[in-house]
Chains A and B, each alone.
Chain A
């Protein structure tokens, strides 16, 4: 005999409601094994009848009398439901929906996840999430250079990069490599993108060059905004409030899209501005040959980029690994150079150089000249000396020092109207007189672009420039990408269970043994066996946005994207042939440009293109991926190390999660069995723990368990196959 108790909190008092025995309340425990985030139960509700007794009438303030303005009219009150002495529902809500035939119809709501209800009902695009002052990108090339591979992801998250108006993180500047084409050796004099894109179409042999790196927004920051906007609570596996640097690894799973994922910004408006300003040049193998930058100061406009650019020479680049000293010679092979495409700009040079002179040196103070060199590539011709900086003897250290810091010497070069020989490039080199024996002790020079303060700065907001994907779509995608299904954990937070958790628990013998609760004997059969859950087909596809399930002839000028569709196969000839489980709102890797097939695409995202007829740019295709290291293939004179790059995610059954899901669903057998109530297990149920039933000699995954107040309990279970061990 099940003893049920129902308590409600009314008018400040906890009252015990008279309920029928049995009450008719049914509690459903539902695993989300087959569900996606939009189908997850964010609240459960049950309707049942409460008898009309004097006690209940007093509790509900005589709501059954039409004349009375009952204080419980339309109200939800807190309730508790105790099942056989176990507080099954502690934070429920109860309200009376109607009174009929002398009984109250009550609805009890529990397990409410307000945030998820909100997300389901009021979904918005991620572009509309709160955009506070901290979401402004300031671009810096320097942030792309990695000095410490072991901790590459976190290294550059420095507090000195914060200001009231901008945040720099490597994530915002991660190099999503986009290919544009620049004709060999020719920059149009006005650097007008439209014009040279027209040239590109005609000239497939043009040398492929990447245009520029694009800011990438970390997935973690977007999830935090989603969490705050909808009032969701999420477990630490999904979101953490820590700095990127401190993000803890919760699961040793690779790849971890929640922690390491990023979404590039794709909006056209942002891109055009950016394109005119910055450029990175890569060779076709993804290595870095030289760096080209374009600076444009645009006056009188708002809402565009503020570019603050910092380049750092560091003696580390020159150092022979075992010595601190370096010799600079007037030799093109040894000169550390970088090239700048400068247009209407000033340069501020600061830094410190310490010379080491041989003992007894009586010559002139060594000097450094800042020269600009206009190549064709890698050949120095037409060296123009911009400035010579004399060193001064510093008694305290006994060395000649050039100290061009803020308080010392500054060189400002106004290069507006500077005409360089074609091609319009300037290379700055720090060049030293070739004096025997003079060595450089230390050389750190910064070359900064210097804007006239009167010129209006430009800023780019992050959120509106992201792809137009809804928050719910993004969250769903993340779950599918991670290879798990959503669950609400015992703290009421949104969490993730991985498919392989089921197998892991099985291998660790971490299972529920419900044999003794089962109400069928060893010779008995389940009440019901089904071979599908109703949503499965023979082929169940997970697709990227650019893919389709059916085979389509592709046109010769169609772009080609990577990313295999994942196909979970059910070997059941009676099901529909093809079903799409989910189509991601993101494209796969951009493999081949349909119109310019010989141009390598960098296997990155399909960036914006200009329509030559209308000179309009279309937005880049949305993509999502992981941060990765972009390695310099060619450690040449530049000595450049690795850049923080980006790799597009793609669907593939390389994920163990999907391999396992395939094994789960290859021949699904779903049974329904009557049981006595395994109360202790149900109270904190873990849906990734398999269930062992001796009578059926098999192990199962839980789909759902339904208990009714009459004491009967029915479980729906999915048989686990034996094929996946090891």
Chain B
């Protein structure tokens, strides 16, 4: 059975007498990672398993689906196909209905979609179960971002540049011991203060169709967002806030802002 580990999942124990203690183990199929605990039975208790499912993912950015088994008193009772994500009803439906994906052919495009049993890396020519409908786009100007959505799919899109801002924060101020003088008079002591800085960028996914919005909007919920720069991917953080758009408009712009780690000023 397919389970999203961030949707709450309960296993119901039945057939055990009241007061008995049952040992439950949740482990990867190969047994490398295992969690064990005890359950005291009264009636037919529900056993919450999601936390352990989540902990089975040691490297979620690379492996977003795992096979796991449930052992009750060391007897295998269930097998699961775990997905590192959670799903809303619409996303569950999408297993059967394809996405409409804008493919940027001149950029390092990343796309990986759950096909019902595992995450498939999609290309325009692949024959995957989850093969989306592709629209090609050759533009290259802007910020190219990739991200993992809350289901575990990987997406990328080119955002057009908007504004580039620098946000600075004051650190402690301290005296240097030097003074500033003019005309034979000491005007003041020179103090310096340290700063930290962040760079915040506003950008926009322009002219999104209704279908494209389906996946692009997931970027604002994502914890794993990267910006492409030459050959590398820079981790960025999408600024929290309210992102709204009209549902029915055929074409809309979707504006986001993200902060990017900046070269820090010298620490004093």
A residues sitting closer than 8 Å to B (CB atoms) are 1, 54, 57-58, 62, 65, 67-69, 515-516, 518-524, 676, 694-695, 711-712
Residues of B within 8 A of A69 (CB): 36-38
Interface residue from A54, A58, A519, A522 paired with B174 (Cβ < 8 Å): A519
Quick check: is B105 within 8 A (CB to CB) of the other chain? no
Contacts of A523 in B (CB 8 A): 189
Contact B189 A522 (CB under 8 A): yes
* Minimum distance in angstroms from B73 CB to a CB of chain A: 15
Chain A residues with CB under 8 A of B35: 62, 68
Give every chain B residue within 8 A of A518 (Cβ-Cβ). 174-175
Q: Is there contact, CB below 8 Å, between A62 and B52? A: yes
- Report the nearest A residue to B173, measured CB to CB: A519
Given the known interface contacts A67-B39, A523-B189, the answer about A1 and B55 at a Cβ–Cβ threshold of 8 Å is no
Query: Known contacts being A67-B38, A68-B35, A712-B172, is A521 close to B191, with CB within 8 Å?
Result: yes
Give the CA-CA distance A696 to B57 in the complex, in Å: 57
B175 touches A1 (CB 8 A): no
Q: A695 vs B191: C-alpha distance in the bound complex, in angstroms?
A: 14
Known: A521-B175, A521-B189, A522-B177. A62 touches B51 (CB 8 A): yes
Query: Top 7 closest A-B pairs, CB basis?
Result: A521-B175, A67-B37, A68-B37, A519-B174, A521-B189, A58-B55, A57-B55
What separation, in Å, do the CA atoms of A323 and B155 have in the docked complex? 112
Smallest distance from the beta carbon of A166 to chain B beta carbons, Å?
A: 63
Check B264 for interface membership: any CB of A closer than 8 A: yes
Q: A70 → chain B, closest Cβ, in Å?
A: 9
Q: Chain A: which residue is nearest B174 at the CB level?
A: A519
Q: Tally chain B residues at the interface, Cβ within 8 Å.
A: 21
Known: A58-B58, A68-B36, A515-B177. 9 other contacts (CB 8 A): A1-B264, A1-B267, A57-B55, A62-B35, A62-B52, A65-B37, A68-B37, A69-B38, A712-B172
A54–B191 contact, CB under 8 A?
Answer: no
* Pairwise interchain contact A54-B54, C-beta atoms closer than 8 A: yes
Smallest CB separation, B193 vs chain A (Å): 11
Quote the shortest CB–CB distance from B217 to chain A (angstroms): 26
> Which residues of chain B come closer than 8 Å to A515, judged between CB atoms?
177
Chain B interface (Cβ < 8 Å from any Cβ of A): 35-39, 51-52, 54-55, 57-58, 172-175, 177, 189, 191, 196, 264, 267
- Shortest CB-to-CB span from B264 to chain A, Å, is 7
- Cβ of A521: which chain B residues have Cβ within 8 Å of it? 175, 177, 189, 191
> Nearest chain B CB to A4's CB is how many angstroms away?
15
Chain B residues within 8 Å of A711, by CB = 172
Q: Is the CB of B172 within 8 A of A519?
A: yes
Write out the residue numbers on chain B whose beta carbons fall within 8 Å of the beta carbon of A524: 175
Q: Which residues of chain B have C-beta atoms less than 8 A from A695's C-beta?
A: 175, 177
Q: Give the distance in Å from the alpha carbon of A218 to the alpha carbon of B172 in the complex.
A: 57
CA distance A62 to B196 in the complex (A): 36
A58 / chain B contacts, CB cutoff of 8 Å? 55, 58
- Report chain A residues within 8 Å CB of B39: 67
B174 near A676: Cβ-Cβ < 8 Å: yes
Q: Which residue of B lies closest to A524 (CB)?
A: B175
Question: Please, which residue of chain B has its CB at the minimum distance from the CB of A1?
Answer: B196
Closest chain A residue to B268 by CB distance? A676
A74 to B189, CA, bound (A): 54
Residues in chain B near residue A519, CB distance under 8 A: 172-175
Give A675's nearest chain B residue, CB to CB.
B174
Residues of B near A68 (CB, < 8 A) are 35-37
**Which A residues are CB-close (under 8 A) to B264?**
1
CA distance A58 to B32 in the complex (A): 13
- 11 CB-based A-B contacts, threshold 8 Å: A54-B54, A57-B51, A58-B58, A62-B52, A65-B51, A67-B38, A68-B37, A518-B175, A519-B173, A519-B174, A676-B174
Could you tell me if A694 and B54 are in contact, using CB atoms closer than 8 angstroms? no
Complexed CA–CA distance, A68 and B172 (Å): 45
Most buried by B among A518, A520, A521, A711: A521
B65 shortest CB reach to chain A, Å? 16
Question: CA–CA, A131 to B172, complex, Å?
Answer: 61
B55 interface neighbour in A62, A67, A694, Cβ under 8 Å: A62
A1 to B168, CA, bound (A): 13
The one of A65, A67, A520, A712 in contact with B175, judged by C-beta atoms closer than 8 angstroms, is A520
Using CB atoms, name the residue of chain B closest to A516.
B177
Q: Hey, which chain A residues are within 8 Å of B196, CB to CB?
A: 1
* Cβ distance B212 to chain A, nearest Cβ, rounded Å: 32
Residues of A within 8 A of B36 (CB): 68-69
Q: What is the distance, in angstroms, from B213's C-beta to the closest C-beta of chain A? A: 31
Bound state CA distance, A516 and B177, in angstroms? Answer: 8
Q: How far is the CA of A711 from the CA of B52 in the complex (A)?
A: 37
Q: Are B177 and A694 in contact (CB under 8 A)?
A: yes
Residues B51 and A522 in contact, CB atoms below 8 Å apart: no
A695 to B179, CA, bound (A): 13
CA distance A1 to B171 in the complex (A): 9
* Residues in A neighbouring B173, C-beta threshold 8 A: 519
Output the least CB separation between B255 and chain A (Å). Answer: 29
Query: Which of B54, B177, B264 counts the most chain A CB atoms within 10 A?
Result: B177
Of the candidates B36, B38, B54, B174, the one having the most CB atoms from chain A within 10 angstroms of its own CB is B174
- Bound-state Cα–Cα, A67 to B51, Å: 12
> Taking the nearest CB of chain B, how far is it from the CB of A372, in angstroms?
90
B191: nearest chain-A partner, CB-CB? A521
CA distance A515 to B178 in the complex (A): 12
Cα distance A338–B201 when bound, in Å?
A: 107
Residues of B within 8 Å of A516, CB to CB, are 177
- In the complex the two chains form, what is the Cα distance from A54 to B52 in whole Å? 10
Q: Which residues of A contact B58 (CB under 8 A)?
A: 58
Minimal beta-carbon separation of B78 from chain A (angstroms): 18
Q: In the complex, which residues of chain A have a beta carbon less than 8 angstroms from the beta carbon of B37?
A: 62, 65, 67-69
Q: How many Å lie between the Cα of A519 and that of B58 in the bound state?
A: 44
Alpha-carbon gap, A597 to B46, bound state (A): 92
**B7 shortest CB reach to chain A, Å:** 16
A361 to B55 CA separation, bound complex (whole angstroms)? 112
B182, chain A: closest CB distance, angstroms: 18
In the complex, the chain B residue whose C-beta lies closest to that of A84 is B267
Residues of A within 8 A of B57 (CB): 54
A291 vs B58: C-alpha distance when bound (angstroms): 88
Chain A residue with Cβ nearest B60: A54
A515–B175 CA distance with the chains assembled, in angstroms: 10
Q: How far is the CB of B59 from chain A (nearest CB, A)?
A: 11
- Residues of the B chain whose Cβ atoms lie less than 8 Å from the Cβ of A57: 51, 55
Please measure, in the bound complex, the distance between the C-alpha atom of A1 and the C-alpha atom of B264, giving whole angstroms. Answer: 10
How far is it, in angstroms, between the C-alpha of A521 and the C-alpha of B192 when the chains are bound?
11
A565 to B100, CA, bound (A): 94
Instruction: Specify which chain A residues have a CB less than 8 angstroms from the CB of B51 in the assembled complex.
Output: 57, 62, 65
A180 CB, nearest partner CB in chain B, Å: 72
Residues of A within 8 A of B38 (CB): 67, 69
State A257–B37 Cα separation when bound (angstroms): 61
